[in-house]
Amino acid sequence: MTNRKMFFTMLWGAVFRRRFRAMMAVIASLVGAATLFCLASVCVAVPQQMNEEMRAYGANLIVTPASATGKSQGINTATVRNVTALIGAGHSVKSAAYRYESVRINSAPYTIAGVDVKAVRALNRHWNVTGDWPGSGNVMVGRDVADALGVKVGSRVTIGYRAADASASASSSASAKSDSDESTETAESSAQGTQSTQTTQGEQTTQATENGRVSSDIMDNNGTEFRIAGIVDTGGNEDSIIYATTADVSKLAGHERGADVVEYSVNAMGDELNAIVNRINKNTNTAVKAQTVTRITSSDTRIIAMLQTLFWIVSLVVLVLTLVGVGTTISSIVSQRRNEIGLRKALGADSRAIGVEFYVESGIYGLIGGLLGTAIGYVLARVLCATVFGRAIGFDWLLGAGSLLLSVAIAVIASIPPVRRATRIDPAIVLREE
């Protein structure tokens, strides 16, 4: 019998003659592989899943005009298309444009936003709307506005546009679109620049006249009557805004112009999202300034960081437990085979051959446990993602291969101390005991 055949014969006997010990080693590797693969799969899938879920809670990037001229004219449709194409390269993206104007209701100043209802509705699925969204001749008011006016769905209000009041709502309209200081500052400056131009245009064509003169009376209640179709309640700055269709706002103001703010919900986060922002800001052809919405991006980053930290802590604990489990099992096997090892060394077997046999045996336990554990871990990860996120995840073959190799490596590493003790057995002492 050749040495190689003898080696595999003894290996076969060592694995299958001691089934209970072998099963314990396989189970230890299986539990470790299943837990690690499940955690790793969830850790890889969760950021993407969470990013998609968080997109239902509004924009994570806003765009405003960069220059003074752009602020007065707003962001035109062509620019919006170009920026959307730039952002959407390799990412799914939703967008909504907002045009802000200062208006008066019962002589009190308010801010009205002209929007594309379909786009805003798709972008802000978390908004709690009682009634309907804006339509032609119909507006949707924020909860704070409704409470201040004492109106409800179905009520009618007269909204008046005063170009001289145009700059009054710059701050409130801008801050409604972002909770970050940087975003608010940019949006405010955009709205202020816009309103200054409106004042000039209003002096020429759009201001209300009284007896042939421009009316600046703040008590003037003339305007256009609108029906309140719905009330939006978000608990944020949106509650202080009146929403109407872009066409109605243009008709009310007497002129058309671009958007003051364009919101984007991009399927990206962290450094990837910052790279998109930098790419837009470096593109001078767009004449816009982009920035992230801190409220959304910081939440994404914080939650994902917490999950990844938890993953590493649990993974470390599982690795230690797996090493202990496999090491203990191999130590038990070595103790049971002590006499056999002493006899083989007395017959001329060297320590290296004995060590290789035990390492291969441990690797087999790790391989079997890794295969079974990876399969079980994938099932657990799939069930977990389906339960929590309502989505299925595919099998990551690269992660599966890594799990398998790690299981084998852990099993071999765990067997090093007991194998070193086995190779130091003195055959004379063992045979004397016999």
DSSP conformation letters of 15-80: HHSSHHHHHHHHHHHHHHHHHHHHHHHHHHHHHHHHHHHHGGG--SEEEEE-SHHHHHH-B-HHHH
Among the listed ranges 101-110, 151-160, 227-236, 336-345, which one has the minimum average pLDDT value? 336-345
pLDDT given for residue 71 in this prediction = 64
User: Hey, is 136 helix, strand or coil?
Assistant: coil
pLDDT given for residue 311 in this prediction = 80
Q: For tokens 């801190």, what's the residue? A: 294
Give the model confidence (pLDDT) of 9-46 as tens digits.
666 666 666 677 778 888 888 988 898 888 888 877 77
Cβ partners under 8 Å of residue 69, min gap 6: none
Give the model confidence (pLDDT) of 300-328 as tens digits.
667 777 777 888 888 888 888 888 887 78
Give the model confidence (pLDDT) of 415-428 as tens digits.
888 888 877 777 77
Distance CA 232, CA 229 (A): 10
**Is residue 110 within 8 Å of residue 126, measured between CB atoms?**
no
Examine the pLDDT at 137 and tell me if it is beyond 60. Answer: yes
Examine the pLDDT at 87 and tell me if it is beyond 60. Answer: yes
The pLDDT confidence band at residue 175, using thresholds 50, 70 and 90, is very low
Q: Tell me what the mean pLDDT of segment 96-105 comes to.
A: 92
The pLDDT confidence band at residue 190, using thresholds 50, 70 and 90, is very low
pLDDT given for residue 125 in this prediction = 85
- Tell me the domain boundaries of the chain: 4-53+300-431, 59-173+221-294
Q: Is the pTM of this model over 0.85?
A: no
Q: pLDDT: is 200 or 154 the higher one?
A: 154
Q: Tell me what the mean pLDDT of segment 232-238 comes to.
A: 90
**Helices assigned H by DSSP within 337-396:** 338-346, 351-388
Q: Cα 88 to chain center, whole Å?
A: 16
73 to 69, 203, 241, 287: CA distances (angstroms): 6, 16, 21, 12
Percent of the chain having pLDDT more than 70?
75
Eight-state DSSP code of residue 168: G
Tokens of 108: 């009190």
Among the listed ranges 81-90, 97-106, 249-258, 342-351, which one has the minimum average pLDDT value? 342-351
Taking the CA atoms of residue 219, residue 221, residue 222 and residue 224 in that order, the dihedral angle to the nearest 10 degrees is 140
Give the model confidence (pLDDT) of 151-174 as tens digits.
999 999 999 987 766 544 443 444
Burial 164-196 (b: 16+ CB within 10 A, else e): bbbbbbbebbbbbbbebeebbebbbbbbbbbbb
- At 362, the amino acid letter reads S
Q: pLDDT: is 395 or 15 the higher one?
A: 395
The pLDDT confidence band at residue 182, using thresholds 50, 70 and 90, is very low
- At 159, the amino acid letter reads I
The pLDDT confidence band at residue 227, using thresholds 50, 70 and 90, is very high
Examine the pLDDT at 221 and tell me if it is beyond 60. Answer: yes
